[in-house]
Amino acid sequence: MRAAVLTGPGRIEVENVPLPEPGPGQARVRLEGCGVCASNLTPWAGPDWMAFPTKAGDLGHEGWGTIDAIGDGVTGLAIGDRVAALSYQSYAEYDVAAADAVVKLPPELAGAPFPGEPLGCAFNIFRRADIHAGQTVAIVGIGFLGALLTRLAADAGARVIAISRRDESLAVAREMGAAETIPMHDHQAIIERVKDLTGGSFCERVIEAVGKQWPLDLAAELTAERGKLIIAGYHQDGPRQVNMWLWNWRGIDVINAHERDPAAYIAGIREAVEAVASGRLDPAKLYTHRYPLDRLGEALDATRDRPGNFIKALVTF
């Protein structure tokens, strides 16, 4: 099979490697595609801790496709089932996953891409955020995750204030239900605008979905007294500082919305499958860029640089 191998900082080669065989309790998936995650960007840049070359298919973890082989002891799955898989070497034509890390896709999703991991993350973050009708929710950073959370929060009856640096992202936020949009350019101007929009009380919920220091600082400033600051951004490029005085004074709850329990991941993916299959959530317009496997490097660069209307890149096979 063909699989991408990261050979050095900013360098990828597509190699022919042996087909992986499913072990006991595993299923092999012939992949149709894999989403490109922003968490790949730090390894792509080649930090000191990164080891090269990577394993074949490494870093890809948003795959979907069709089961073509199953290992001993697997029940409830069959060859030919179309699935989303929580596996970790999916920049390849095939990957294997634990049987309990595979979610069947219903006929309503036939032919549609389904990067299950980030879709499931959105539902898990939304659950952890505890958003209710009538609340004001600020979402800092409108990429794929921020756009999905905008829709989920708006559908729950919250007033969403979307904050992002690109006009194209703010337009997407409005399409997804944001009541207000604010360009992310001037720290103090954003604070004053949100203060004005909320009558000086700020936001009951603030979701930081960027993973950088400034958006984290800004998100805390926008959180109301006794509100919740939900950290959805992936902060992988070093330590962070926080304004502990502000956090103490306002008495805010800080929620790290990242999951590490595979069962929680799968529960979120199942919720996402139901929502998309029923038509309650339509992520199709967010898949703005598609690339073949041998252009994975371009997909990663686009995920970093976010040209034009970029929201989400998919690699398809």
Residue 125 belongs to domain with CATH number: 3.40.50.720
**What pLDDT is stored for residue 237 in this prediction?**
85
Check whether residue 245 and residue 303 sit in a common domain.
Answer: no
Is 0.85 surpassed by the pTM of this model? yes
Check whether residue 144 and residue 95 sit in a common domain.
Answer: no
Residue 84 belongs to domain with CATH number: 3.90.180.10
Check whether residue 132 and residue 225 sit in a common domain.
Answer: yes
Asked if residue 262 belongs to a domain, the reply is no
Number of domains in the chain: 2
Check whether residue 136 and residue 234 sit in a common domain.
Answer: yes
Check whether residue 81 and residue 173 sit in a common domain.
Answer: no
Asked if residue 195 belongs to a domain, the reply is yes
The length of the chain, given as a count of residues: 317
**Boundary residue ending a domain (256, 273, 305):** 256
CB 117 within 8 A of CB 62: yes
Check whether residue 179 and residue 59 sit in a common domain.
Answer: no
Element (H or E) spanning 315, and its range? Answer: strand 312-316
Q: How far is CA 42 from the centre of its chain?
A: 15
Check whether residue 129 and residue 247 sit in a common domain.
Answer: yes
Check whether residue 179 and residue 252 sit in a common domain.
Answer: yes
End-to-end, the C-alpha distance of the chain in Å comes to 11
Check whether residue 141 and residue 243 sit in a common domain.
Answer: yes
Check whether residue 251 and residue 124 sit in a common domain.
Answer: yes
CA atoms within 13 A on the CB side of 98: 7
Check whether residue 133 and residue 231 sit in a common domain.
Answer: yes
Asked if residue 204 belongs to a domain, the reply is yes
pLDDT along the chain (317 residues), means of 10: 97 97 98 97 92 96 98 97 97 98 98 97 98 98 98 98 97 98 98 98 98 97 98 93 97 95 95 98 98 98 96 97
Domain limits for position 238: 119-256
Check whether residue 86 and residue 171 sit in a common domain.
Answer: no
Asked if residue 112 belongs to a domain, the reply is no
Residue of 284, 310, 273 lying closest to 112 (CA atoms): 284
SS3 for 152-203, per residue? HHHHCCCEEEEEECCHHHHHHHHHCCCCEEEECCCHHHHHHHHHHHCCCCCE
3-state SS class at 5: strand
**What pLDDT is stored for residue 238 in this prediction?**
87
Asked if residue 57 belongs to a domain, the reply is yes
Q: Cβ–Cβ contacts within 10 Å for residue 246, how many?
A: 13
Asked if residue 245 belongs to a domain, the reply is yes
